[in-house]
Amino acid sequence: MARIIGGITTSHVPAIGGAIAKGLQNDPYWKPFFDGFIPIRHWLSETRPDVVVVLYNDHGLNFFLDKMPTFAVGAAPQYTNADEGWGIPTVPPFTGDTELSWHLIESLVADEFDLTTCQEMTVDHAFTLPMALLWPDQAWPVKVVPVCINTVQAPLPSAKRCHRLGEAIGRAVSRWAGDEKVLVLGTGGLSHQLDGERAGFINKDFDLKFMDSMVSDPTWATQFDTYQLVEQAGTQGVELLMWLATRGALGPSVRALHSNYHIPISNTASGLMLLEPV
């Protein structure tokens, strides 16, 4: 039986890719951010996951405003990265786990989630940069299953719906006949707003309360509707939906093995957590 061994939640700011390309990991501006991943990499070397289910939001590389699915799951044998215009070097392709992908798709549909199924799929910085932070050599010792959640164009799925999606992913993995060790990786956030009158908005108090709730009260953020989340976390801060889905997949109780919070990186509050089911 496959099992989820842990969940990692982290930011995916495009500037991270530029910092990696320029070798700025020890620059005073970036060092508090990059140092947060050292314990994560030690844990990965000890636990050695086989598959990563990546919960992320697409920024126009694979989907655009004319076609924006609420939830999309990749079922491709390989996922490639392309130039998004940020000047970030592309990374090597990722190997998909097609059998687990189809099991996940069929299980989610049976749980009454309406999905877009992608047998061809490109992945952007929200997918590639967190993976590069976990495995800096970019040799990718894992297979991947991409799960894309719309945080770009209204109407967005609710926080409650995304948490339930995570729960359904957890059930699907537990029913998979293989013996894979599965890591769930949720990317995005935390509070930030890149445009409008509140450009540069960061809400540290909300972020820290949200991070605490991931352990102590995992449905805390589901009390907020989309507009309230934008008010609390900023227009792009709704990316915390991927954190909620990740948390839902881990089951009722977790312990935090590591966390880091640093502001700002590129006008964004950067959060990082490593959670283990108990």
Question: Domains of the chain: which residue ranges?
Answer: 3-277
C-beta atoms surrounding 27 within 10 Å: 12
Of 59, 163, 192, 262, catalytic: 192
Active site residue 125: yes
CATH architecture of 3-277: 3-Layer(aba) Sandwich (3.40)
What pLDDT does residue 83 have?
81
What pLDDT does residue 147 have?
98
pLDDT tens-place values along the chain, 278 residues long? 899 999 999 999 999 999 999 999 999 999 999 999 999 999 999 999 999 999 999 998 888 888 899 999 999 999 999 888 888 899 999 999 999 999 999 999 999 999 999 999 999 999 999 999 999 999 999 999 999 999 999 999 999 999 999 999 999 999 999 899 999 999 998 998 978 888 889 999 999 999 999 999 999 999 999 999 999 999 888 999 999 999 999 999 999 999 999 998 988 999 999 999 99
What pLDDT does residue 84 have?
83
Residue-by-residue DSSP string for the chain: --EEEEEEEE---HHHHHHHHHT-TTSTTTHHHHGGGHHHHHHHHHH--SEEEEEE---SSS-BTTB--SEEEE--SEEEE---SS-PPP---EEB-HHHHHHHHHHHHHTT---EEESS-EE-HHHHHHHHHH-TT----SEEEEEEE--SSSSPPPHHHHHHHHHHHHHHHHT-SS--EEEEEEE--SS---SSTTTT---HHHHHHHHHHHHH-TTGGGGS-HHHHHHHH-TGGGGHHHHHHHHHHT-S-EEEEEEEEEEEETTEEEEEEEEEE-
The predicted model scores a pTM of: 0.96
What pLDDT does residue 96 have?
98
What pLDDT does residue 87 have?
84
Of 12, 103, 125, 163, catalytic: 125
Active site residue 258: no
